[in-house]
Structure 1
Amino acid sequence: MKLEELGYNNKLGDYRIDQNLSELEIGRITLEHKERYVVKTPDHEFEAELMGNIRFTAESRYDFPAVGDWVAFSAYDEGKALIHAIYPRHSILERKAVGKSGQVQIIATNIDCALIVQAVDRDFNVNRIERYLTICHASNVEPLIVLSKIDLIDELELEAIKDQIIQRVKDIPVIAISSIQAVYAQLEELIKPGKTYCLLGSSGVGKSTLLNALSGKEQMKTGEISSSVNKGKHVTSHRELIVLESGGIIIDNPGMREVGIADTSGGLEMTFDTILAYAENCRYKDCSHLHEKGCAILAAVDSGEIDADSYANYCKMEKEKMHYESDALERKKKDKDFGKMVKNVKKQRKNSKF
């Protein structure tokens, strides 16, 4: 195996030289658990921990490694290593952490494409697809919708689901798969060597089954199907990066019960660009598109030009985004005030010595 098969590229090579990291080894984080990591190189895997300066100078979760990161490290014992630095990330897939106001959870880094897996059984939900699309767009990650368990419905039902997606989601590829029918060829053709793909989806939609099929062996255990709800039992409990024999790189994720919006970079606008295109005709430039007279978006919803459910989903996520941005500003202010306090304490201590 070569570094390029793990996703290594010229930008990483240039950074390695510019930052004088050539004396250290380079590898990619494949597993993370409470500040303990597994780092993979073309020839070995290391159990790694952080150098003290990374841990003690970290200002936020972004300063710690995550699955998908490239790191500079040194081996100090057989299979053991110390992480010295994290290489720049070209993408960070993240969401607002469940039940933790203002906090962001990093799903994975350096992702090229996200496979949004949705089972076509009774749990199918277009609103959820739009949520996953929003975090992909906000992270500059290319999305691909994968419909799983198509053996549970007939052809007419499958076409109806595809039509439902097309009405709400524009210009995003949709692929249908089934573990029973072994229908994976179309997806396998899209998996490119050296590119990193991340599986996104709720618990029980078949992500682990899909990973096992793509890798040709059981990478993740799969749960048995419940006859009452047609859902597999959730078994994936951690994020893990796996290199396929075909050359692609897959990151599996635990199922997400909730997908909170932590978007400050236009992901929501990209997901709902069809709706927001109507805003150019609103009477007021600062229209909130919620209740104003002369709102072109509300008029389009009333006339049926805009799907009412999609509009309702947009409004819900827009409110979440505004709440997150408000929390982020408050945290920034608190951090700034804390920084001032620390400086004043240091200044007072310095003056008291004289």
Structure 2
Amino acid sequence: MKLEDLGYNNNFETLRVKQKLDDFEIGRIRSEHKERYIVMTQKGDFEAEITGNMQYTAKSREDFPAVGDWVALATYGSNLGIIHKVLPRFSVIKRQAVGHVGEVQIIATNIDYAFLIQSVDRDFNINRLERYLTICNSSHVTPIIVLTKTDLVDEKHISEIKNNPRLSIKKVLVLALSNETKYGYETLISTIKKGKTYCMLGSSGVGKSTLLNNLSGRNIMETGSISQSSNRGKHVSSHRELIVLKNGGILIDTPGMREIGITDAVAGIETTFDEIMSLSEKCKFRDCTHTTEIGCSVLKALEEGRLEIKSYENYLKLQREQTHFESAVAKKRKADKAFGKMIKIHKKMKNRNKY
């Protein structure tokens, strides 16, 4: 398999040359298992881990390799390797790490398009879609909304979802399909381009694993059912994995996500809620928060029914999350700086006591 088949291009080659990585094998992270990585190269797959220096100098989890990364590695034997360098990423899809305030979890890197998958029978939620859109827009990844399980509802219901005002103003491609009847598959496959990387984002139980199996023509992922007690999908995919499809497209499957906390997504919020941003240009005050101010064009549009109240409320909610995340990051940096200063003082005092 050639590197170009995995998405390698002239931009990555330029980065490789600039960083003088001629002595290393170049490969792409296919999957990660407890800080051990499967790397796809022209010579085949290698099981690899990072150097001790990379682990020591990493400032955060973002400095470690992730699925989708291009890496430089030294290979040993037929299938072992050591990763020495991660090539700069052109896009990173990430969210707030669950249970770790102010920390980031990388979902996948070097993504061109993201399939935002929701089922039309039970899972469809525009608020969640706006979260996904915000994540994509802040990562410079082109979103494509995919509605699944269309065989469980009638055409009228599907049409109502597609024509929902909050969805139609986003100007995002919306595809509808059925994993059972294969309705809509031809249109979906035609959007997948050779050498481009796609990431599937969605909750458990929306049909991501079945879709991946059908697109690849292989039983790559197990498929699960919906819990009757909670009406929620059961987690099937337990890790992220990069798959090369028959038509040359590259697809990354991800575990279902119920929590989608946004991170540094100011630009993403502005792009997702561009209608509100456009209205805000006419506000009386430049620093208008669009909540209580006199002369606020956003509030005026709400009163006149020109702006969806639910979209406005979701915008404010994401804004609050963004502010909270920035505050948590600043607090964490301050604590880390104070801890580092304390260590330096301790070492200095320890050296003095030697004499």
Question: Do both proteins adopt the same fold according to a TM-score greater than 0.5, normalized to the shorter chain?
Answer: yes
Q: Is the 8 A contact 1:206 1:232 kept in 2?
A: no
How does the TM-score come out when normalised to structure 2? 0.94
Normalising by the residue count of structure 1, what TM-score does the alignment of the two structures yield?
0.94
Q: Which residue of 1 aligns with 2:27?
A: 27
Kept after mapping to 1: 8 A contact 2:62/2:105: no
Q: Does 1:146 align with 2:146?
A: yes
Cα deviation 1:287-308 (Å, max 9, x = unaligned):
1111222211111112110001
- Following superposition, the deviation at residue 187 of structure 1 comes to 0.9
CA contact (8 A) 2:120 2:148 kept: yes
Confirm or deny: 8 A CA contact 1:146 1:177 kept in the other structure. yes
Q: Secondary structure at the match of 1:281?
A: coil
Instruction: Flag structure 2 segments of 5+ consecutive residues without an equivalent.
Output: none
Give the superposition deviation at 1:103. Answer: 1.2
Counting only pairs closer than 5 Å after superposition, residues 182-221 of structure 1 correspond to structure 2 as: 182-183=182-183, 184-221=185-222
1:95 is aligned to 2:95: yes
Residue identity in the other structure for 1:278: L
Cα pair distance change 1:346/1:15, threshold 3 Å = farther
For 2:248 and 2:45, how far apart are their aligned partners in 1? 18
Structure 1 residue identity aligned to 2:147: L
Q: Retained in 2: the 8 A contact 1:92–1:108?
A: yes
- Describe the superposition over 1:286-342 as per-residue Cα deviations: whole angstroms up to 9, x where unpaired: 111112222111111121100011001111111101100111111222233334444
**CA distance 1:178–1:228, shift in 2 (3 Å):** farther
What residue number does 1:328 align with? 329
For the pair 1:271 / 2:272, whether they are aligned, the reply is yes
Is 2:312 the counterpart of 1:311?
yes
Query: Sequence identity of aligned pairs in percent?
Result: 55
Q: Give CA deviations for 1:258-288 in whole Å, capped at 9, x if unaligned.
A: 1101124411111001112111222222111
Q: Is structure 2 residue 102 aligned with structure 1 residue 86?
A: no
Match of 2:260 in 1: 259
Q: Counterpart of 1:328 in 2: which secondary structure?
A: helix
What residue is the counterpart of 1:288 in the other structure? Answer: 289
1:5-56, Cα deviation, whole Å (9 max, x unpaired): 1011112112222222111111110111221111111341111111111111
Bigger shift: residues 33-42 or 221-230: 221-230
1:59-80 deviations in whole A, cap 9, x for unaligned? 1111110000111111223311
Give the RMSD, CA atoms, in angstroms: 2.0
Give me the whole-angstrom Cα distance separating, in 2, the residues matched to 1:231 and 1:351. 61
Shift of 1:111: 0.5
CA distance in 2, matches of 1:244, 1:289: 46
State the one-letter code of the partner of 1:274.
E
Tell me if structure 2 keeps the 8 A contact 1:244–1:250. Answer: yes
Which SS does the other structure have where 1:175 is aligned?
Answer: strand
Structure 1: which 5+ runs fail to align? none
1:66 maps to amino acid: A
On the 8 A contact 1:222/1:232 being kept in 2, the answer is no
**SS in structure 2 at match of 1:266:** helix
Answer yes or no: is the 8 Å Cα contact 1:120–1:148 preserved in 2: yes
C-alpha change, 1:240 and 1:296, in structure 2 (3 Å) is: same
Matching of residues 28-43 of structure 1 within 5 Å: 28-43=28-43
Counterpart-to-counterpart distance in 1, 2:151 and 2:165: 19
